[in-house]
Structure 1
């Protein structure tokens, strides 16, 4: 147990609780390393049969990675520190995705970026019905990373790209439709569901116990509004600036496209299409790391984090400021696009 991460054993259950509520449990390197150590130790521990991820505090499960610290390292001339952070985070994502024991995520509130990178790769994913999911990286000059393209590749491409490129927060209905979670629960039932997860750790058939819990606890979620908007524009060319801007003017859910980093939009589109051709999570995460190393050294990353998270003026000056000015060849080279 550390000040920012609670690692707890309860009989056959291992619990990893993100405990940095003042930052909505934003992941730093210490937390990432702690998660990795716990998972590696429990993988060979016969007493631990199931592992639960949860987040402390009322605001949410996890707001993503601590990109302000990453930005500062780049500005200080220590981009290698950024490389170390991303390599550690993506290694953790891979361990979660390929874990030999059942992993359960119980999320609430804000579930963004690196939070989806943890919860989305778990085998059993519960979320409260008021949760908000997002991959907001296009707003900070970065890309949809942490292996999320591997998850989104199972959704229709137009829905996946709408979610990843707009970066807008979506509710549980969209998260279910996109394959980011499995079961939306009534927030008032969160403690009861947690107790059910703990009980499943001692069940003869853990998978069956968790499946039954999901079936019993699924709550109404309403319309998947972002997916519905995406369906109305399924044929949109996501690399055509005029088409994007024109569509953004017609759909409130797509309006954020016109405000995003052009470099990010191209990076997200290219990396997503490349991920659909890859057969395993390891290859997707390797491409994510190559792309992260490129993008964190480009001007839009430092500028985007400044505008959104540091100065918070929400007025980034993107360079280049149009899709036509983006060097697509360098992005395609690192993601392995044909």
Structure 2
């Protein structure tokens, strides 16, 4: 173990570091180490991961990089949204914007990293955790994986390149996941393009021990389940009604408005569709409409860099509205589960209000 380091924080694991940076043989290991906070990502963690990747990119001794999370609950629950809310309330969002600039740069670095980047996506992988893992080369899920971009539920919009991933999912599955904030199972993540390999969780300890710089292809062959033997994706089984409810019909050039999607879901006769309509109506109406546009625009933008630039604009705009602060209050601060969205219905959200999220209000610098 030639290199050991970390960044300290109040919610760190027992060794006092929020990220463990190690070299095991010829593999660089990054372990998110805030298990009590489900490894939620802070600005300091982003900087340290970025610095480690920059160093290992030039280090010929490093054959590949492995990302893992401490604890039994998951890889990463996302960015530290309490801290982002505090920034909105205390410094006009300056700290939040600085965090996003560095976080999105890190997402781009991971996507173009010249060595294999292996992400162990066991358990909960949400928001910023998706940004740290799903842009890598080798993305491993288990039967315990729950992968999601749940931002609409707190008055925010998917970011960290998530709108690109959602936009590239088969059919309208990405639209469905974005608007409902639903989580994917491991097989769902494989089907939707968020992951590449399935490993039973009972085999993870042995897999971790093997990822020490040995030939990566040999390790994967030894531990991953062949595609025909992976359990079927529940979302794949629901493609028919999802595509019908979220997608364009009758030769239309663009998809339906959010209000029409909800109506289709409620009227299609599928119990799961009706439940999806209820979930969407419980989210921030503004976030739902902006999310719908962001996913559709991401499909046309093509490159991850262009999508991250768009997401930076959208994130900064969302920070200035009332719903993000209110959503985090209701879910994490007061925990009353009763957010008071403004405006309160989809019909009250104007096209102008949606469009302002895509205008350049602040210096971008996401790349």
Partner Cα distance (1:28, 1:166) in 2: 26
1:224 to partner: Cα distance = 2.5
Shift of the 56–215 alpha-carbon distance from structure 1 to 2, 3 Å rule, reads closer
**Which segments of structure 1 move beyond 4 Å, counting only runs of 4 or more?**
213-221
Which residue pairs with 1:289 in the alignment? 312
1:28 to partner: Cα distance = 0.7
1:177 to 191, 210, 214: 191
When the two chains are superposed, the root-mean-square deviation of aligned CA atoms in Å is 2.1
Which residue pairs with 1:251 in the alignment? 271
Alignment of 1:189-200 (within 5 A): 189-198=203-212
Shift of the 210–264 alpha-carbon distance from structure 1 to 2, 3 Å rule, reads farther
Kept in 2: contact 1:287–1:334 (CA 8 A): no
| Equivalent residues, number | 331
- The SS at the match of 2:204 is helix
Partner Cα distance (2:323, 2:305) in 1: 27
| TM-score normalised per structure 2 | 0.84
1:331 to partner: Cα distance = 3.5
Shift of the 219–72 alpha-carbon distance from structure 1 to 2, 3 Å rule, reads farther
Kept in 2: contact 1:106–1:194 (CA 8 A): no
Which residue pairs with 1:261 in the alignment? 284
Partner Cα distance (1:319, 1:17) in 2: 39
Kept in 2: contact 1:248–1:256 (CA 8 A): no
- The SS at the match of 1:301 is helix
Which residue pairs with 2:93 in the alignment? 79
2:83 to 60, 65, 69: 69
Gaps of 5+ in 2: 1-5, 8-16, 247-255, 360-367
1:212 to partner: Cα distance = 2.7
2:243 to 199, 214, 234: 234
1:114 to 115, 128, 140: 128
Kept in 2: contact 1:141–1:300 (CA 8 A): yes
1:231 to partner: Cα distance = 2.8
Partner Cα distance (1:48, 1:328) in 2: 50
Partner Cα distance (1:10, 1:243) in 2: 50
Which residue pairs with 1:307 in the alignment? 330
